[in-house]
Amino acid sequence: MPEIRVTPLGAGQDVGRSCILVSIAGKNVMLDCGMHMGFNDDRRFPDFSYITRSGRLTDFLDCVIISHFHLDHCGALPYFSEMVGYDGPIYMTHPTQAICPILLEDYRKIAVDKKGEANFFTSQMIKDCMKKVVAVHLHQTVQVDDELEIKAYYAGHVLGAAMFQIKVGSESVVYTGDYNMTPDRHLGAAWIDRCRPNLLITESTYATTIRDSKRCRERDFLKKVHEAVERGGKVLIPVFALGRAQELCILLETFWERMNLKAPIYFSTGLTEKANHYYKLFITWTNQKIRKTFVQRNMFEFKHIKAFDRAFADNPGPMVVFATPGMLHAGQSLQIFRKWAGNEKNMVIMPGYCVQGTVGHKILSGQRKLEMEGRQVLEVKMQVEYMSFSAHADAKGIMQLVGQVEPEGVLLVHGEAKKMEFLKQKIEQELRVSCYMPANGETVTLPTSPSIPVGISLGLLKREMAQGLLPDAKKPRLLHGTLIMKDSNFRLVSSEQALKELGLAEHQLRFTCRVHLHDPRKEQETALRVYSHLKSVLKDHCVQHLPDGSVTVESILIQAAAHSEDPGTKVLLVSWTYQDEELGSYLTSLLKKGLPQAPS
């Protein structure tokens, strides 16, 4: 029995280190290869020994697909390909291919240079890894091999994010990566056609949330920033260099312009300018409005937002600083946070999801005394605000996508177990689609029943179609043919053609039955009586009386002969071939009942 097997190595009932193994029709595909922000030990990467226990990665995997450039989706890639060892193709979109190595390098620097980790992947490994990448266009059907094909769809979320359809024959799986069902200030909404896969693997970050309108959240955000700046406080907004940062920059830029505010806005890393450049060059991936107006005005050239220098953090007076990374787990945002945390005038706004174990997650869950490195305790007095700007679909969005795709089954990843449970029930009850939520290392097996494509000879098909298009439910008409199977070539042809092709002769099987009738008249008259009787009974059939005295019903021949011994009895010889058996046997039984009395 064919089946689809799915095993999350990461992101199973968890957010972080997304990595999902899919086996479909004998092909093995790995979806994403991320790192976990909450761990600094072995657990930060997916457990590839699950595969390597039984052999090399390259032998096992047909391809790897990366959905977008966030590190929890691609952060383990150089480790996976260069240190564990994988030489097969890695697919991602062009913007992901462009931006991914930069974020990996950034990640490497923080890990090695700042934290002093040994045995981490090197810059060269990132380069070598990226050489294995094959860039894909949206909607392009990429033929990984003769049977396996993949296709990317727009996912919103971040620049270049894509959903992927993985297809072998008539079996398919759709993996959403992270996606957003509503357009925001710089990206469009996810879109996919009704491709009816066997399985939809979807993220479920906001499985239980139904978010209010974006506009309210934006107003709220601007109000909070404005208030803090008015009272002379400093506002820290931890972000990732690409993605939400651009959206919030556009938002603040227009607000500052409108309100004529003077407090400086800074963006912390050297990545900013570069990041904005990427948006400019990949403008076809942004939303309709930005694409339409880019010739006149580039939305990614900011007037009020300037580059940050670490010395600015101690400047007096209000300011707004965007700093990376977004979960306060390392780097500049954490440094600034430590500096500003003690002052209640200041504010930190967390615009996105924070993984467990990060400082971001701790302060969001209300912790106000943080144990830092070296047993130092940091007391957080600054205002802590959370604002969901992450471009993930909420529960409504996820349900909408499931409805749009019409899968046979749904598998949840990239979310917390409790929230998943809720969504799972919702999907099963409201959409009547079976739903799975495996933990890491746990395998879900779905039996499939793919239909078998064969070639039907046009002659046979047309002969069948010519008999009418609508099959009658009461009298189903059957198509008869012979399936010729030669190697992997399957052809359905008419029986005659099959015989001819194989050089075989037809064997004709014929029956002739003697039916005795009591009728003293002459043979010709008996035949005539048979004719008129049959004609009246078989209205839908072609009944003929031939010049030689015989009667035919379709291809069945009836002849009347005198009985050799009894002149009062006539013998009807009814003759038919095996192919007409039903009608032939019906006729004999009909004639056996005798003929009606001739009308006087």
Adjacent-strand bridge partners of 371:
377
316 is an interface residue for other proteins by CB under 8 A: no
131 is an interface residue for other proteins by CB under 8 A: no
Rounded distance, CA 11 to CA 17, Å?
6
126 is an interface residue for other proteins by CB under 8 A: no
277 is an interface residue for other proteins by CB under 8 A: yes
Tell me the Ramachandran region of residue 366: left when phi exceeds 0, alpha when psi lies from -120 to 50, beta otherwise: left
Rounded distance, CA 522 to CA 567, Å?
9
Which is catalytic among the residues 203, 218, 247, 385? 203
SS3 state at 427:
helix
The residue count of the chain comes to 600
- Residues from 56 through 115 that contact other proteins (CB under 8 A): 94, 97-98
**Smallest gap from residue 502 Cβ to other proteins (A):** 6
Rounded distance, CA 380 to CA 485, Å?
74
Question: Comparing C-alpha atoms, which of 530, 509, 520, 535 is closest to residue 569?
Answer: 520
221 or 278: CB nearest other proteins: 278
* 203 counts as catalytic: yes
Select the span of 64-72, 242-250, 254-262, 494-502 touching other proteins (CB under 8 A). 494-502
The residue from 431, 492, 528, 557 that contacts other proteins (CB under 8 A) is 492
Question: Comparing C-alpha atoms, which of 112, 159, 114 is closest to residue 138?
Answer: 159
Rounded distance, CA 388 to CA 68, Å?
20
214 or 280: CB nearest other proteins: 280
11 or 126: CB nearest other proteins: 126
The residue from 477, 548, 564, 600 that contacts other proteins (CB under 8 A) is 477
274 is an interface residue for other proteins by CB under 8 A: yes
Q: Is 461 exposed, middle or buried (0-12, 13-18, 19+ CB in 10 A)?
A: middle
The residue from 42, 113, 146, 506 that contacts other proteins (CB under 8 A) is 506
- Residues from 163 through 182 that contact other proteins (CB under 8 A): 170
Rounded distance, CA 99 to CA 278, Å?
8
389 or 576: CB nearest other proteins: 576
Q: Which runs of E-coded beta strand occur in 12-161?
A: 19-24, 27-31, 63-65, 90-93, 133-136, 141-143, 148-154
Alpha helices in 285-411 (DSSP H): 288-293, 331-340, 359-364, 395-405
- Residues from 509 through 528 that contact other proteins (CB under 8 A): 509-516
The residue from 425, 467, 524, 544 that contacts other proteins (CB under 8 A) is 467
- Residues from 190 through 209 that contact other proteins (CB under 8 A): none
478 is an interface residue for other proteins by CB under 8 A: yes
433 is an interface residue for other proteins by CB under 8 A: no
Rounded distance, CA 435 to CA 427, Å?
7
482 is an interface residue for other proteins by CB under 8 A: yes
481 is an interface residue for other proteins by CB under 8 A: yes
302 is an interface residue for other proteins by CB under 8 A: no
422 is an interface residue for other proteins by CB under 8 A: no
Positions annotated as catalytic residues are 203
